Amino acid sequence: MRGKRMTIFIGESDQWHHRSLYLAILEELRSAGCAGATVTRGVAGFGAHSQIKTANVLRLSIDLPVVITVIDTAERVDRLLPRLAAMLSAGVVTVDETEVYFSSAAFKGGLPDVQVGDVMRAEVDSVTVETSIADVVERLVAHDYTALPVIDAGRRVVGVVADSDLLRSGATHLSVSLHKATSGEAIADSLARLRARGGVVHDCMTAPAVTVTPRMPLRDAALRMRERGLKRFPVVDDGGRLVGVLGRLDILNSITTAHAHRTVPREHRLPQEHRTVAEIMEKDVPTVVETTPIHDVISRLMESDAKRILVLDEAGRLAGIITDTDIVARIDPAVRPGLLTLLRSRWSTVADRQVRRASGQRAADIMTSPVVTVPASALVIEARTLTVARHVKRLPVTDADGRIIGMVARPALLAASLDIGVKEEGT
């Protein structure tokens, strides 16, 4: 792989906004996503002012030369050059092309050899046991997460309240994703009903919470996540106080980032670099055709744990995909009340009649198209990178002729990265 090497020559005492310049440059390189950088402290040298600087034991306080070396992609180096040059008041920056034979972040057991604290999100929303159910739903609908840590007055984690907890306890009858798919007016009505009913987090939360610490190896956290069938953990310090959250997507992102531009000989390949999607995919995939009536689509959807159905054209090729949120968002508004009743698993004759009057809508009218797919021959790392980049939880799998033969989900991709058997869990 071709890359570029950037070398920066500065003095040890050089400053940037009252901070050591070489440390400020390192932080800039890290925030830009560089794979790494090395700072070398010279024993002697001279710069533009011709003053010889030495590490003689009698002059330990002298300003010694410092060299920062970075090897990365040409695009990233070129993008960084103007920003780094602006930080220098004196010095030299050189750039030359280089051939990278071996390049890899440190991996252990299929995952980056880092700690939870290196990957977690430090900015965390939280609730208390007295927070109202309505406030919890309002927060979840407004953001892209489906669970909140529950803390006490000292920020110690005492539990977790998730979308699944709200549904299981009967505090709500629609998932957060379905709430998001409805209109603003419908959400406001739902929140008003929740406030009128009352109810607080203590009534439905899961306690105690399964937590991890910032110093836990990422692989250990990923294994615990899979074993417990969870998607996220509160991260706590030694006193049990909330300091962050680690989610499955955070782990997948870290693998993808660490793997980017990885160049290694075949004998050094990771599990996800030799296993294919065909080895881990689900083969039983629910499908309908484009002309399937909405009522029948809903019936099939309610039977599917994945809450999504693939739509095939007349030739049996993939035409689109339908999720429960697609139906709620795109169905005729006149029949939406009946649909929501069915999706709450409260089947009734009235609701059934309402949905059957869906103005002649068919699967093709509400499906999402085109669909992000992955070939069965793709490597696990390629599929995982695709799910992260395209923000999809499941990928339809196609054969050499482009026909659907399965589906692969994030839990299976993470399990394959850990080089362990696949156990399906929530996505």
pLDDT tens-digit readout, 243-269: 999 999 999 988 887 777 666 665 556
Domains contained in the chain, CATH given? 2-99 (3.30.70.120), 116-259 (3.10.580.10), 277-417 (3.10.580.10)
- Are 67 and 40 in contact by the 8 Å Cβ rule? The answer is yes
Say what the pTM is.
0.70
Tell the residue number behind the tokens 């011709």, with chain if given.
Answer: 50
CA dihedral 395, 400, 405, 407 (to 10 degrees): -10
The pLDDT score that the predictor gives to residue 329 is: 76
Q: Does residue 212 carry a pLDDT above 80?
A: yes
Lowest mean pLDDT among 188-202, 244-258, 409-423: 409-423
Helices (H), 47-131: 74-85, 116-119
Q: What per-residue string of b and e applies to 183-214 under the rule 16 or more CB within 10 Å gives b? A: eeebbeebbeebeeeebbbeebbbeebebbbb
Lowest mean pLDDT among 9-18, 104-113, 128-137, 236-245: 104-113
DSSP, collapsed to helix, strand or coil, labels residue 288 as: strand
Helices (H), 149-307: 163-169, 176-181, 184-197, 218-228, 248-259, 277-280, 294-303
The pLDDT score that the predictor gives to residue 25 is: 97
What phi and psi values does residue 122 have, to the nearest 5 degrees? -85, -25
DSSP assignment of 342-365 equals: HHTT---HHHHHHHHTSTT-BHHH
What percent of the chain has a predicted confidence (pLDDT) above 70?
A: 84
Interstrand relation of 65-72 and 38-41 (parallel, antiparallel or unpaired): antiparallel
The verdict on whether omega for the bond into residue 396 sits within 30 degrees of 0, i.e. cis, is no
- Are 328 and 182 in contact by the 8 Å Cβ rule? The answer is yes
The pLDDT score that the predictor gives to residue 345 is: 53
| Average pLDDT score over the chain | 84
Q: Which residues pair with 368 in a beta bridge?
A: 321
Counting beta carbons within 10 angstroms of the beta carbon of residue 376, is it exposed (0 to 12), middle (13 to 18) or buried (19 or more)? middle
Q: Does residue 150 carry a pLDDT above 70?
A: yes
pLDDT tier at 62, thresholds 50, 70, 90: low
The pLDDT score that the predictor gives to residue 350 is: 47
User: Quick one: which of 398, 352, 344 has its CA closest to 371?
Assistant: 398
Counting beta carbons within 10 angstroms of the beta carbon of residue 40, is it exposed (0 to 12), middle (13 to 18) or buried (19 or more)? exposed
- Are 362 and 289 in contact by the 8 Å Cβ rule? The answer is no
The pLDDT score that the predictor gives to residue 348 is: 47
